[in-house]
């Protein structure tokens, strides 16, 4: 029986089904150790946690809007479970306590990340040094994407030690059910915060309306500190765009909301992946995305099922107008979205984690890592 513990911040809905599969796998004894039940800025509605799990006493503080978890009782939780290997997916103090527990006891450590070579470009020397120390003492690596694999390789980690566990959703729940009338030309789904760039999406809709010579419509799904600014802008742009605000959407509402629109606008300024693109692709939508999202060039492929665009509203409007005015092109992109997202599923994600753990038991030799350029 392979005993695996994973230490992670909190249970996100797109990882819970993966953990459930790990908990049901024959020959695997799995436990998830969560730093918190829910971070204050997360409004997720979670499915039942039908796997072995522990919630630590919540201890965190915020730095630049990010939650830094510091739960020393993770040591006791690991001691009680007595794993053969420990997976950590971050570098909060809690993760480092778990890593040191594994290292001090001679257990296998597996490093896991949703980050990419792009999203981690801004790390300082101390953060890079900590990663270098941990990676040199890890048996295997679990990136969520090719960008995550490039991140590990920048430290000298060989590709043979990397096993992708993709970020994914319940694709079947989003799959179009026959032909559905499209109420909106665009959908934006995400937090109404500057980093997600929702006002840019509004400008794209305006420029698209001017380009195609008709009023367009956009549905905004989410909430956040920019909501008042967005509603003021919506009133200014009413001549060109019909703008609807749905507010925060529960998970069960999302499939119908995506299927009601034609194109996802995803102009994020920083996103290691972007599960909203999975949701859109599973609903058969083409996606317009900035290069700052991890999905760009992987799940969303430029000229195939969407466009990866520089953050210029006129470029986005030109691409959007092509899709809205050329039915054959739109249908081709839609079919490709459905096909591409099929590989991003819970079974593949769980298998990537297990493969990394099994590999690390077979080949636990240390590796030489370097500071990335």
* pLDDT band, very low/low/confident/very high, at 8 (cuts 50, 70, 90): very high
Written as six digits, the tokens of 6 are 């994973």
Q: Does 191 share its domain with 313? A: yes
**Full strand arrangement of the beta sheet holding 216-221:** 241-247, 216-221, 184-189, 261-266, 287-290, 306-309
* pLDDT band, very low/low/confident/very high, at 94 (cuts 50, 70, 90): very high
Count how many domains the chain has: 2
* pLDDT band, very low/low/confident/very high, at 317 (cuts 50, 70, 90): very high
* pLDDT score recorded for residue 48: 86
Are 160 and 130 in contact by the 8 Å Cβ rule? The answer is no
Q: Which residues pair with 85 in a beta bridge?
A: 4, 108
Residue 220 has pLDDT above 80, yes or no: yes
pLDDT, mean of residues 27-56: 87
Written as six digits, the tokens of 31 are 């436990």
* pLDDT band, very low/low/confident/very high, at 373 (cuts 50, 70, 90): low
Residue at 180 is within a domain = yes
Q: Does 59 share its domain with 86? A: yes
Q: Does 199 share its domain with 333? A: yes
Look up the pTM and report it. Answer: 0.91
Q: Does 130 share its domain with 220? A: no
pLDDT, mean of residues 279-292: 97
Residue 370 has pLDDT above 80, yes or no: no
Measured from the Cβ of residue 154, the count of other Cβ atoms closer than 10 Å reads 18
Of 11-15, 41-45, 175-179, least confident by mean pLDDT is: 41-45
Q: Does 233 share its domain with 164? A: no
With tokens 């490709």, the residue in question is 336
Q: Does 59 share its domain with 133? A: yes
Q: Which residues pair with 112 in a beta bridge?
A: 142
pLDDT, mean of residues 83-108: 97
What is the b/e burial string over 242-253, where b = at least 16 CB atoms within 10 angstroms of the residue's CB? bbeeeeebebee
Written as six digits, the tokens of 210 are 């001017």
* pLDDT band, very low/low/confident/very high, at 43 (cuts 50, 70, 90): low
* pLDDT score recorded for residue 245: 98
Kindly report the backbone phi and psi dihedral angles of residue 91, in degrees, each rounded to the nearest multiple of 5, phi listed first.
-135, 25
Listed residue (73, 71, 77, 76) closest to 94, CA to CA: 71
* pLDDT score recorded for residue 114: 93
Residue at 370 is within a domain = no
333: domain CATH number is 3.40.50.2000
Q: Does 244 share its domain with 317? A: yes
Q: Does 134 share its domain with 121? A: yes
| Backbone φ/ψ region at 309: left (φ over 0), alpha (ψ -120 to 50), beta | beta
**Average pLDDT of the chain?**
94
Q: Does 14 share its domain with 97? A: yes
* pLDDT score recorded for residue 366: 61
Residue at 217 is within a domain = yes
Q: Does 206 share its domain with 155? A: no
Residue 21 has pLDDT above 70, yes or no: yes
Contacts (Cβ under 8 Å, ≥6 apart) of 195:
268, 269, 270, 271
- Segments forming the whole domain that contains residue 309: 171-341
DSSP class of residue 46 equals P
- Strands (DSSP E) contained in the chain are 2-8, 28-34, 53-55, 60-63, 66-69, 85-88, 108-113, 140-143, 184-189, 216-221, 241-247, 261-266, 287-290, 306-309
* pLDDT score recorded for residue 58: 87
Are 217 and 242 in contact by the 8 Å Cβ rule? The answer is yes
Are 88 and 141 in contact by the 8 Å Cβ rule? The answer is no
Residue 88 has pLDDT above 90, yes or no: yes
């Amino acid at each position: 029986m392979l005993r695996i513990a994973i230490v992670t911040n909190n249970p996100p809905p797109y990882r819970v089904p993966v953990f459930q599969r790990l908990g049901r796998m024959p020959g695997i004894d799995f436990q998830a150790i969560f730093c918190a039940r829910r971070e204050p800025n997360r409004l997720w509605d979670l499915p039942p946690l039908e796997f072995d799990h522990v919630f630590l006493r919540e201890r965190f503080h915020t730095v630049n809007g990010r939650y830094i978890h510091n739960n020393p009782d993770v040591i006791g939780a690991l001691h009680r479970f007595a794993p053969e290997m420990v997976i950590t997916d971050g570098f909060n103090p809690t993760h480092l306590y778990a890593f040191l527990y594994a290292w001090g006891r001679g257990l296998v450590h597996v490093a896991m990340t949703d980050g990419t070579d792009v999203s981690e470009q801004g790390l300082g020397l101390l953060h890079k040094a900590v990663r270098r120390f941990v990676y040199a003492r890890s048996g295997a690596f679990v990136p969520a994407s090719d960008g995550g694999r490039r991140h590990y390789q920048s430290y000298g980690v060989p590709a043979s030690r990397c096993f992708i566990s993709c970020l994914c959703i319940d694709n079947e729940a989003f799959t179009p059910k026959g032909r559905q009338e499209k109420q909106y030309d665009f959908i934006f789904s995400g937090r109404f915060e500057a980093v997600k760039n929702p006002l840019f999406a509004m400008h794209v809709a305006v420029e698209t309306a001017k380009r195609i010579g008709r009023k367009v419509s956009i549905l905004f799904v989410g909430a956040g500190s920019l909501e008042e600014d967005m509603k003021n802008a919506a009133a200014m742009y009413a001549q060109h765009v019909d703008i609807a605000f749905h507010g925060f959407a529960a998970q069960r509402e999302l499939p119908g909301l995506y299927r009601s629109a034609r194109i996802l606008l995803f102009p994020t300024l920083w996103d290691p992946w972007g599960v909203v693109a999975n949701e859109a692709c599973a609903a058969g939508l083409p996606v317009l995305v900035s290069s700052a999202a991890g999905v760009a060039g992987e799940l969303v492929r430029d000229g195939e099922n969407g466009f990866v665009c520089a953050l210029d509203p006129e470029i986005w409007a030109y691409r959007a107008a092509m899709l809205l005015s050329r039915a054959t092109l739109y249908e081709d992109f839609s079919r490709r979205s459905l096909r591409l997202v099929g590989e991003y599923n819970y079974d593949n994600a769980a298998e990537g984690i297990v493969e990394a753990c099994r590999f690390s038991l077979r080949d636990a030799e240390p590796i030489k890592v370097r500071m990335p350029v």
